[in-house]
Structure 1
Amino acid sequence: MATVIVDDHSPLVQYNPPGGWLSEGSSIEYMRTTMSSMVLGSTATFKFNGTSIAVYGTVVGPNYQTTMDFRVDRILAGFYGPAVTAVNTTTYHQLLWTSDVLVDGVHTLVITQNCSIQDRILFLDYFLYNTTSTSDETVFIDDDNPIVEYSAGWENLSLNEYFQHTAHVSSELECWVSLTFEGDFVALYGPVTVGSDGNSFNASVAIDRGSPGPVFSPAQELPPGTTTYNQLLFSSLLSPGSHTVVVTNLDGTDLYVDYFLVRASSPTHATSASVLPSSVWPSPTVNPMGGSQTGQTTKSFPVVATVGGSVGDRKNFLIRVEDPS
């Protein structure tokens, strides 16, 4: 059983009515995208093959309204009513709803906006579903997953900005993290804190006991001490099969682990192993699971512009999307 992640902007998710949903997003959110609606009766429909599913999003408070209900195979399975908060807060990676255990097979989830609201307060971000059928799917492996192994010297952290609200950090020389998986692609994401010299961390990655190569810190033109989240630390294209990746802290600066993405392989994606530093691999605005070619985008929803606002002012942070065809 594996956990597959699907972005809100995946073409597998169908939104109705046309124009009833708006595309937004920030760097903290998965693939830097979300979808929201203020229209009574608007729906998001997603068909999946699995045994359970969960829906995650971003919530802006305070809020007193029930805003969405969830139906699986036309049966009402639950609803989301945001908790009341005293101040205007933004919660990322919030679990909106999770299903009961389902019969293994194909199911249809329909999310319905069940009231008309005056402001966007609830944003769909991503789906996680458990399945035994993972070929060519993007498998999500959180830092807390027991298949991720850590040496001594790692600390478990909890923060709103982390996926599943957890991450691990190492600040000791030669601390390592290891993941063994079946697939033909792996990527590691985590927070990055800018050091006093402008650098963020110094680490190496080794795959299948091969010679270690450097992990390049994403470019950061920010003041020392600034932390950015959901940063791609490294990715690698591999031949299909079983692989082990080991990332090692080389100098004792803070090295974070938030989550791994793995593509469950099929024979059509065979390629030689190569480690792609974040300086050449696309940012989370581009879907790295779309194919084996570096820089290939998701056809329907590539981000082409970011407009105004800060992360703290959620309603003014907009992303325009276009179909390049």
Structure 2
Amino acid sequence: MAFVHLDVVRFYTLLICAVFSSVSSNAEIKVNPPQDFEIVDPGYLGYLCLQWQPPLSLENFEECTVEYELKYRNIDSEDWKTIITKNLHYKDGFDLNKGIEAKIHTLLPPHCTNGSKVQSLWSEATYWIAPQGNQETKIQEMDCVYYNWQYLYCSWKPGMGVHFNTSYQLFYWYDGLDHATQCAEYIQVDGQNIGCRFPYLEASDYKDFYICVNGSSDSDPVRPSYFIFQLQNIVKPLPPDYLIITVKNSEEVNLKWATPNGPIPAKCFIYEIEFTEDDTTWVTTTVENELHTTRISNKSQQLCFSVRSKVNIYCSDDGIWSEWSGKQCWKGLLWRKRSLLSSGHILLTQ
């Protein structure tokens, strides 16, 4: 029995030594954080570069592929964006109205560390544009619309209480331009810039579009305003036209209209139809440029409808409804008069 007890003690002693030896072995594996981590502004109005250099003392991991875990956000955001990369830089867009913070650490893959997870301490960086001018000097009510996926217009109102000689300038950039470009055609009221008509923007869809509106004044500094959006999400198409209403057998109603003119593909439209039968009105939507319905009552004397269009979720994340088309109507007395001459259906167009 004494020998059995001794063997058990020896077994547990060896097990504990093995565990501590493993912990000690893994604890000795360390890696430094990346060097020279910084946030660089190349002058693209919010498109920034986060860059770094490899950590010191990587001689023991020459055959390992070192990775980096990068986290970044605007300072007032609750959520960090996280990227795992093998590169020494990463680019993304930020709201320059607010500060930016980022942190990064080195990761060693398990096959280089006896299967354990080894990471360095964090290296941190921040970036912000030093504010100038009072908050009230910023422009107000910035509104940008991409009309018919062809022509971009932006407009704004001057800041509150700014001096009459305050002059605002708009600059923009998107991937494909060599540098930030100033508006070439301002919209003015009383000699003051309150908007911009943009030229043709080649290959600008489905990219972040960056805008800065800053200003100058003889009296006080003017605080700049920064904006980021994608053009396909602010498209306002033309309204449909060539509306046709067809009534068959005094009950079946067919509404049809033409796809709006312009470069927007037919598959990209959604339509909203407002249909009125005497004093009753209802609204529905469809992705087709045709709608079938029935009359509520055979005694109704007038049917009218109008249509508006918008870019649908298959081509954008959002959009702006067009203006309503003109109304197309059918009147019951006219239908009855013609039905005496020819039973079947009636076709009315404007």
TM value normalised by structure 1: 0.30
Report 1 or 2 for greater relative contact order, CA contacts < 8 Å, sequence distance ≥ 6.
1
Larger Rg: 2
Query: Comparing both structures, which one devotes a greater share of its residues to helix?
Result: 2
TM value normalised by structure 2: 0.28
